Chain A
Amino acid sequence: MLKQTEGSKAVAEAIALCRPEVICAYPISPQTHIVEALGEIVKSGELTPCEFINVESEFAAMSVAIGASAAGARAYTATASQGLLFMAEAVYNASGLGLPIVMTVANRAIGAPINIWNDHSDSLSQRDSGWMQLFAETNQEAVDLHIQAFRLAEELSMPIMVCMDGFILTHAFERVDIPSQAQVDAYLPPFEPRQVLDPAEPVSIGAMVGPEAFMEVRYLAHAKQMQAIERIPQLASEFREIFGRDSGGLIRTYCTEDADTIIIAMGSVLGTIKDTVDEMRAQGHKIGVLGIISYRPFPLEQVKAALLNCRRFVVLEKSLAVGMGGIVATDVRMAVTGTGLKGFTAIAGLGGRPITKASLHKLFREAKAETLPPVTFLDLDWDAVNKQLAREKQTRRSGPVAENILHDKGIVSAKFG
């Protein structure tokens, strides 16, 4: 059913249609509306049987999900930012144990400095946790990816994060087609665990594993994600048959066939990029877009194939590997090894810095002219940076960096960009 609704609410409705049996809730912006909306659905009696558990931390949220999943229940939780870091040990544990938990990550920056706004630092920090990570471009895709995620996670017995941009998607009201229960039931069979705690058939789960077997266990986690590379496009096409729309898959291309320059990104910024690309195409620029939906597993072959006919690419990412540069860019460069393609990295939108069409126009033109440095920081205020650097040169006790920059920039509430 078509609805004009908030992203968080739409996602909550989609999750409820997936019939989770245990939901762990802990508040953290910008994820909170999702579990609140799920709480309302549980309370209304529409989702039954379901245990909604208010836990005392994200670490507990993931731990409760681990217990529930190991005992054969379909388990769900949602988090963001510091919450994801706080549960990190349990995040690795869930994938190590091979438990098909689905978790929404409402992507948000990581502090310090504390910042509630969107970027991709949080889920990318869990890049190697063994969780699959799917990034939604729109709220419609966030809805659809959750349904696909439960199916994929349970098929492979591995957990999945569905990543949606905090605030930009979670708090945006837009048109979303909420599927029917019958559609979701036709797509998502009941959970058949591969391993389950059951007094009728006792097993030990979580034993100490020494050097004699650890490598094999880890390799199999990798192999599962390699299987997911095969399964994700198949599940997307099965999804299209039942739900009648394209959603999910490994990557999505836009105007790439004849493009000499391709912009690569993940999440909601793809929309702004596509609008910019349309405008540039109208002016005769051969430019295209490659959206990465599946960040883990990373579709190396598919990314390479999509880029093969262009001359250069820009990875625009909302994340930063401090001391190195891009995080997504590293993977993309791995994919194009040996092709001789010219690649640029643009770090953008950290901590919710708006990514505007005006800035993208400038960036893409410079990329086309190949005048960009290998790593660019989009819309970085060099004055503020240089002022702080000068301050540090001048005096030893230069004080806290973040507070100095804020002081230089003035009152925030007077701005709304």
Chain B
Amino acid sequence: MGFQPVKFYQTGTYTVGNRLLAERSVQAGELRSNSINSGHRACQGCGEALGARYAIDAAMAGSNNQLIAVNATGCLEVFSTPYPESSWQVPWIHSLFGNAPAVATGVAAAMKVKGRKEVRVVAQGGDGSTTDIGFGCLSGMFERNDDVLYICYDNEAYMNTGVQRSSATPPAARTATTMPVGAEPGNPFGQGKNLPEIAMAHGIPYVATATVADLRDLEYKVRRAMTIRGARYIHLSVPCPLGWGTASSDTIRIARLAKESGMFPVFEAEYGEVTGVSKIRHQVPVEDYLKPQKRFAHLFGKTPHPETVARIQAIADRNIRKYGLLEEGSN
């Protein structure tokens, strides 16, 4: 697992200086590649920008800087390439919204045919391109076990176009397009898809979830993925201050609450079987996660909906049971 074997005694905090660790993080290392340079146009507190920076730098470290990146249409693509400026210090191509996995397959095939096995390919997109419009191409890439690492930056809606629902939008979350569906203002229960599990069902060599609340774990998972050949998938939770209605300064905190509440299980899997889980350190009720987010404000306003919150808690509880997210004996 990604967690350091070092035992920390100052529980409740992650603010451990790097000096305490045996190995520096990629991001703290003097050799970090700065694959996504500063100066891009992401919003303040953007979880995706942070996650992509750590993920791609880790992928560079894991490929001896021999990396080609493919990008689906979306926030990351738009904010990183306001041409003639480009944040990308790696060879980078953007084709369409729904075809990043297939374009990556093509790049990987070209590298193979040219005998450049050292060059690795990473494809990336948001949850809209990954779980919806590009899902067919993603499944095809998985099924063929093409040598591509696909990273989904999941902010749980179409943020680039102004916060519309995707199939990764959680129940009860308010978006620009959930209003007309169902009796409640938020996204209906019983919809959406669990892409990490769908990826696992393809039997691909490596699937992991990660969160910007634990960037060391993200780096570890990307580097681990880069040691494997074949189709690999990392599903990264990246809060969006704009779409979630949270303070820019709260991105990491919200991401941590998603994990600590059980709403976003963090695990890794090989060939369809879960091999490791990041345990919840201090379990919190889902209310703590939902309340700071304006997209869930309708659950807590003048007419609160405790029954809806309870339904969400049930989802978290099921995740906790299913993945064994609680340490034995804790809480």
Contacts and interface: CB of A to CB of B under 8 A. Distances in A.
A67 B65 contact: no
Interface in B69-87: 70-71, 77-78, 81-83, 86
A56 B106 contact: no
Interface string A200-238: 011111111100010000000000000000000000000
B140 to A, nearest CB: 3
A53 interface: yes
Interface stretch (B44-52, B111-119, B173-181, B226-234): B111-119
A75 B96 contact: no
B102 A49 contact: no
A54 B144 CA distance: 8
Contact of B143 (A56, A69, A72): A56
A67 B104 contact: yes
B82 to A, nearest CB: 7
B89 A67 contact: no
B103 A205 contact: no
B167 interface: no
B172 interface: no
Contact of B96 (A55, A70, A89): A89
B68 interface: yes
Nearest to B102: A63
A372 interface: no
Contacts of A64: 102-103, 105-106, 109
Contacts of B94: 205-207
Contact of B110 (A54, A68, A89, A209): A68
Nearest to A97: B95
B139 interface: yes
A73 B114 contact: yes
Interface in B105-153: 105-115, 119, 136-137, 139-140, 143-144
A71 B83 contact: no
B67 interface: yes
Contact of A65 (B67, B106, B115): B106
Nearest to B85: A207
A204 B78 CA distance: 12
A355 interface: no
A204 B105 contact: no
A63 B113 contact: no
Nearest to B100: A63
A65 B105 CA distance: 9
A21 B113 contact: yes
Contacts of B92: 197, 202-206
Contact of A49 (B108, B113, B139): B113
A202 B65 CA distance: 11
B297 interface: no
Nearest to A61: B102
A269 interface: no
A51 B111 CA distance: 10
B40 to A, nearest CB: 12
A67 B103 contact: yes
Given A60-B102, A67-B102, A205-B92, 9 more contacts: A53-B105, A54-B144, A59-B137, A63-B102, A69-B110, A71-B110, A89-B96, A201-B91, A207-B82
Interface of A: 21-22, 24, 49-51, 53-57, 59-60, 63-73, 75, 89-90, 93, 97, 197-199, 201-209, 213
